[in-house]
Amino acid sequence: MEYRVLGVKLELIGFDSMGSRGMATIVYTGSQCIFIDPGVSIAPKRYGLPPHPLELERLQHHLDRIHRLVMECDILVISHYHRDHYLYRDGEEEYYTGKTLYIKNPCENINVSQRIRAYRLLKKMGVEEKAREVVYADNIEHKIDKDLWIRFSPPQPHGVEGTRLGYVLVTTINIAGIRIVHASDVQGPISTRTRDYLMSQKPHILIISGPPTYLLGKRLSEEDLGKAVENLVYIIENTGCLETIVLDHHLLRDLEYRDRVKEVYRVAREKEKKVITAAEYMGKPVEQLEAHRKELWESSGE
């Protein structure tokens, strides 16, 4: 089944609303396909519990689909080096063979853990040699053909300004005037700078990670949650061309996700814009397996 907004075909795989952690997105341009963040993972611990067998089964299902579809794509994008956003396991280096890679600069505006992961991927796993071309994509634009271009943001904070989690790239793909913006791990966005950048791209479709409300009171403050909601509301109110917001990833680790950002849904209804999860975009039920991990283990009697 094909799912289209404004005639653009996307395939969303392994988002948190589908039972795994990730934002793997394929954009079909007509002449080729572009795979943004081709990775998926699951939380090693949640509520002090390991992944339930159902989560492991779902992870494998999503990995199998990513492995199959990545072979069909010419261009791969890695927005940053958190393991739910790229292929990093032993043997997965082969999937990069012959591809054009647009990647977050592994040497600048990057924290230590991501720098180490990037070095392992590019050097130790040999991806730099296997790929057809490796492009450090920070703040660049590339015209692919007459009606198709791809643009990458300057490094944006992974959440709040100054976070120790490092920086990510936002990807904009323009297909004959229709713009898809993919905003991995901006967490709302919490940053006003990121909000302004997203609006400058004039998206018709915005795929974005919501705030990590499951960490409220720990690594997310009430103030930062308020900023995330306020910024997303501002984007909805002031981006006239915006039609669909796919709001997912960190936010969907919270069973009360709709209540946490209810103002976003209210304003979207008022402005006649659609806010949905990746699962809903793909016509599937929302399955928050990680958030339901405690109940999954209890129901299995273990």
What pLDDT, in 10s, does the model give residues 108-137? 999 999 999 999 999 999 999 999 999 999
Q: How far is CA 106 from CA 80, 155, 184, 260, in A?
A: 9, 12, 17, 34
Q: Name the residue range of residue 39's domain.
A: 4-294
Q: Is residue 31 part of a domain?
A: yes
One-character DSSP codes across 40-102:
-B--S-BTTBPPPHHHHHHHHHHHHHHHHHHTT-SEEEE----TTSS--STTGGGGGTT-EEE
Q: What is the pTM (predicted TM-score) of this model?
A: 0.97
Q: Is residue 302 part of a domain?
A: no
178 CB contacts (<8 Å, ≥6 apart)?
6, 7, 8, 204, 205
Taking only the tens place, the pLDDT of each residue in 76-115 is 999 999 999 999 999 999 999 999 999 999 999 999 999 9
Q: Is residue 299 part of a domain?
A: no
User: Given this model, what pLDDT does residue 1 score?
Assistant: 47
> How open is the CA angle 193-121-174, to the nearest 5 degrees?
45
User: Given this model, what pLDDT does residue 156 score?
Assistant: 98
We report the CATH number of the domain holding residue 87 as: 3.60.15.10
Instruction: Give the integer Cα–Cα distance in Å for 38 and 246.
Output: 17
Number of domains in the chain: 1
Q: Is residue 128 part of a domain?
A: yes
Q: Is residue 115 part of a domain?
A: yes
> How open is the CA angle 291-293-294, to the nearest 5 degrees?
110
Q: Is residue 301 part of a domain?
A: no
Residue numbers in the chain where pLDDT is lower than 50: 1
Work out the burial of residue 271: count CB atoms within 10 Å of its CB; fewer than 13 is exposed, 13-18 middle, 19 or more buried: middle
User: Given this model, what pLDDT does residue 300 score?
Assistant: 83
Q: Is residue 198 part of a domain?
A: yes
Instruction: Give the integer Cα–Cα distance in Å for 215 and 226.
Output: 14
Q: Is residue 85 part of a domain?
A: yes
